[in-house]
Amino acid sequence: MYSNKVVDYGTPQKRSDNTVTVHIDGKPVCVPEGTSVMRAATEAGVQIPKLCATDTLESFGSCRLCLVEVDGRRGTPASCTTPCEDGMAVSTQSKKLADLRRGVMELYISDHPLDCLTCPANGNCELQDMAGAVGLRDVRYGYEGENHLVQEKDESNPYFTFDPTKCIVCSRCVRACEETQGTFALTVEGRGFDSKIAAGPTNFLDSECVSCGACVQACPTSTLMEKSIVDAGQPDHSVTTTCAYCGVGCSFRAEMQGNEVVRMVPDKDGKANHGHSCVKGRFAWGYATHPDRVKQPMIRKKITDPWREVSWEEAFEYAASEIKRIQAKYGQASTGGITSSRCTNEETFLVQKLIRAGFGNNNVDTCARVCHSPTGYGLKTTLGESAGTQDFDSVEFTDCVIVLGANPTDGHPVFASRLKKRLREGAGLIVIDPRQIELVKTPHVAADFHLQLRPGANVAVMNALAHVVVTEGLEATDYIAQRCDLEDYTKWKAFISEERNSPEALEEHTGVPADQIRGAARLFAKAPNGAIYYGLGVTEHSQGSTGVMTIANLAMLTGNIGRPGVGVNPLRGQNNVQGSCDMGSFPHELPGYRHVSDPAVRELFGNEWGVKIQPEPGLRIPNMFDAAVDGSFKALYVQGEDIAQSDPDTQHVQKALESLECLIVQDIFLNETAKYAHVIFPGSSFLEKDGTFTNAERRISMVRKVMPPLAGLADWEVTVRFAEALGYRMDYSHPSEIMDEIARLTPTFTGVSYDKIDKLGSVQWPCNDAAPEGTPYMHEQEFVRGKGKFVLTEFQATPERTTRKFPLILTTGRILSQYNVGAQTRRTHNQTWHDEDVIELHPHDAENRGIEHGDMVAMQSRKGETVMRCVITERMQPGVVYTTFHHPESGANVVTTDNSDWATNCPEYKVTAVQVKKVTADKSDWQQRFDSFAQQQDSLARQGFTEDNEQPAK
Amino acid sequence: MDANKLVTMANQIASFFATEPDRVAAVAGTATHIQKFWEPRMRKQLFATFDEGSDHGMHELVVAALTEHRSNLEPA
């Protein structure tokens, strides 16, 4: 059940340019054409009793509780299924209606437990509310008849229970799973009295249910109920905040008892998610109060020393003294920092400010380096701005979608549900991916084309698509003439038209039959609105930036930028990776994507910050590692990133971290990187601070503190105090003041403030005088750079080649239940679904190697070896293997290489030449060393006493 | 920093700009990219390798960029 404290309008809001006026119990109300009588009544302040209707689902008309009388019409139609007509006069109350409603409720309650006082839904139950609303006093049928009061609960799912004794078979859960989530995991089995809700032939856990929770919040009783509510009871207040998992940026109501979260429920008013969520944001929030949380700062001189718990003051003084010592000895450029894409905009802004103003250099970078930095480069070059062009609502207006190098049902599930809804309505779908991702064939959705290319061939496929569009005369000539640089276009057109860019010529590189590419190109180019969504399967390549530019080229070529339903849509991975890029986390750019070499920009920031900003670009993360190994980079401040697990070529990263004289890690857990650290600043989760996140839509949303920081300081406060210890004062009493500074200094943010975000719910930048309420769609009249730029995108094969020794290609990715390095999700019940990383192998490759499903296999590359369990699946193509990187002990990045994107050094995670073979040992040499080092570091962490063996300092 | 790695990275940049038919623009593109995104010690190391005189497998566009745009690229 959602919450009976929040108005439920009964049926979804309709959009129409026309309005109609109806009278509800004599009250006039004007609504968009198509609105139900039920919704119009609610808007007029009249609550019509209901059970099967809810405003997140289309009307169903089964419960017969919402009957009304309409002047001039016979009978008593259901108000949820009756559309308003102009001039209609509706009565919602009469003796006849009251008798009918009481009769309906009598039937429901005759087959329902009468244990309200001990029921977990007590106080928040629609059935209870409706019994009260209709004045139910007795049940004339009695309770001795056949009933459903003795049935087994399904408690298989770790997060919610299914109690069929409480079920009224309103089918809201079934419809939520269909309409909202699009998984179709639930059904009504049987008919009449035998009807019951079923998750297929199994229990919930073993079914196709993805635990999004849509059925749970749709359920009007306690049939589907969060276990946290069963345990703790109903919340007493709620705070609206933003999810800290992926780049969708779902809005949530954190429902609380005091300072404790009882449950997280997706906010219906959330503009990114419209009341939907996934298993991670909805249920996997327990990590925030996990016993592993670091609550006390710690320091040590060497990484072989035990940790010593100290006060915040001592930790700041020690860290600052080390930075100063190292800079005096090795130079100012020997230090740097990494901002977090999980922390807020305000916190990220402060870290880059600390590095630039406090450390005195530009050696600052962010995790976007390893994911969407090519998006920044590619879209800035072609369109003029380093961000996606649309909002998520745009998908409702699209006619044909290309999904390229992304797996949204796993990586961006809430957006994927919106996409699937549009696809069920008939939009075309082209999937370009080496794997058969779920979207290729899922209930009521099938891709028109699955271009199952070889890893590393994105640019070839995209060039081939563009070649077809141009040579078959399908380009948007007027759009190009009006909006794009014609000199660049002419040059590019000549290039792309060459026979060597045809699907036929490129087939040996792409592995995709030419006729498939031709068919896909025609489908996309002929659609009135075509949209491209892409992910790290584009960017994490040696031609990552080139790949992004091919996307922009194709979008401009077909006239698909600048309105709803189209666009170039990077699916950003982390909750605030867009924000961290916006905030100037890159070593070459100040906030707002302005190069450090620009004297006017340096002067602007320099005057505000009271320092001189360096004019040269700083080190990127991979360059920091190289410089560390080389001896010229000696100290690093890392906020909220686990580079030892997430970055490629693990052994090189480990060597780099070991080379540092001072590694300061600020995080909520002792992660893999912390094992090499000398200072630990305890971090704060998203529940413990105020701030903002920016999602993939450029949408800036509030993050609101619901509990005090466990270690006493929010992350932004830690950075401020650290800066002060270094001798650089930052005076802020609240994060809103940091945002005010960002707005002062950044042209795309000048209209942003906490007041505005509170008022509007969220704001999409650019938000300034030209767009005071923000910008859903970019490049509407012209591109940010003026004219769109077509860029020559020659396909160049990756230097990572298969050989006889390494004949397979490894590509990596994510799954639904775990998130990135797993630091958060591994500390929740999401472990139920994925408690180890596995290698996925095609049956042919397995057979050739004598490998069976479930065998332990070694995966070797020229960089290293690791051992994992093998899963044999036909969703891989022969020659390609797949794994995830959610568990540190699986060592997926031990085998990935230092190949990277030519423009940004974004690692080529998606193409590594490997061999896979069956083994009997369950760990590689690296994994054994990892275990030994981990045990050593755990022991050192547990020791944590002062030099005099006193109790740990507070 | 590893000289071979830096040469590989520079060559990758050059390979992208090599598709530009206007050679002056291709050389300038290569040089500008290195200037905008490479930290001074990386550029210094690249010049050290270049100034050694031997081939090191540098793409001819990299050679041209380091020669024709030296004053912009070489760190102070």
Q: What is the 3-state secondary structure (H, E, C) of A216-239?
A: HHHCCCCCEEEHHHHHHCCCCEEE
CB atoms within 10 A of CB A240: 18
CB-CB neighbors (< 8 A) of A335 in chain B: none
What phi and psi values does residue A335 have, to the nearest 5 degrees?
A: -125, 160
- Note whether A619 contacts B39, CB cutoff 8 Å: yes
CB-CB neighbors (< 8 A) of A595 in chain B: 36
- Distance (Å) from the alpha carbon of A374 to chain B's nearest alpha carbon: 13
Two structure tokens written together for A57:
């689902």
- pLDDT computed for residue A110 by the predictor: 93
- Note whether A588 contacts B9, CB cutoff 8 Å: no
Q: Which stretches of chain A drop beneath a pLDDT of 50? A: 945-954
User: Whole-angstrom Cα distance, residue A751 to residue A771?
Assistant: 8
Residue A630 C-alpha from the chain's centroid: 36
**Tens of pLDDT, residues B13-64:** 999 999 999 999 999 999 999 999 999 999 999 999 999 887 689 999 999 9
In percent, the amount of chain A with pLDDT more than 90 equals 94
Strand partners, A265: A253
**Tens of pLDDT, residues A435-451:** 999 999 999 999 999 99
pTM of the model: 0.96
User: Whole-angstrom Cα distance, residue A78 to residue A89?
Assistant: 14
CB-CB neighbors (< 8 A) of A905 in chain B: 9
Question: How long is chain A?
Answer: 954
Residues from B in contact with A at Cβ < 8 Å: 1-2, 5, 8-9, 12-13, 15-16, 18-21, 33, 36-42, 75
Whether the bond between A766 and the residue before it is cis, its omega within 30 degrees of 0, is yes
- Distance (Å) from the alpha carbon of B53 to chain A's nearest alpha carbon: 23
How many contacts, defined by CB atoms under 8 Å, are there between A and B? 60
- pLDDT computed for residue A142 by the predictor: 85
- 3-state secondary structure at position A243: coil
- Note whether A903 contacts B13, CB cutoff 8 Å: yes
CB-CB neighbors (< 8 A) of B25 in chain A: none
Q: Does A630 touch chain B (CB under 8 A)?
A: yes
- pLDDT computed for residue A949 by the predictor: 39
Sheet with A691-694, strands from edge to edge, namely: A691-694, A699-703, A762-764
- pLDDT computed for residue A464 by the predictor: 98
**Tens of pLDDT, residues A633-683:** 999 999 999 999 989 999 999 999 999 999 999 999 999 999 999 999 999
- Tell me, what amino acid is at A263? R
- Of residues A333, A491, A902, nearest to B15 (C-beta): A902
Dihedral over alpha carbons B52, B53, B55, B56 (to 10 degrees): 10
- pLDDT computed for residue A943 by the predictor: 81
Preferred mutation among B11, B12, B35, B49 to probe A, highest tally of A CBs within 10 A: B12
- Of residues B1, B19, B75, nearest to A627 (C-beta): B1
| DSSP calls for A378-390 | HHHHHTSSSS-S-
Preferred mutation among A626, A629, A652 to probe B, highest tally of B CBs within 10 A: A626
CB-CB neighbors (< 8 A) of A620 in chain B: 37, 39
Q: Does A597 touch chain B (CB under 8 A)?
A: yes
- pLDDT computed for residue B55 by the predictor: 64
Report ipTM for this prediction: 0.97
